Amino acid sequence: MSASHRRIRRRSELLTFFILAFGIWPIVAVATVGGFGFMV
């Protein structure tokens, strides 16, 4: 594997991590808490 291919792969992994960490999971957390609030 070349160095440039590794760099591109690492960048895509970091981008995926940040999308999950700051995009998807907060929405899931709010939806879970909100759903629990509606159940109660």
- pLDDT of amino acid 15: 95
Boundaries of every domain in the chain: 1-40
- pLDDT of amino acid 10: 92
Query: For residue 17, what is the enclosing H or E element?
Result: helix 3-19
Rounded-to-5 percentages of helix, strand, coil across the chain: 90, 0, 10
Rounded-to-integer distance, Cα 40 and Cα 26, Å: 21
- Model-wide pTM > 0.85: no
Rounded-to-integer distance, Cα 11 and Cα 29, Å: 26
**Taking the chain (40 residues) in consecutive chunks of 10 residues, what is each chunk's mean pLDDT?**
83 94 94 93
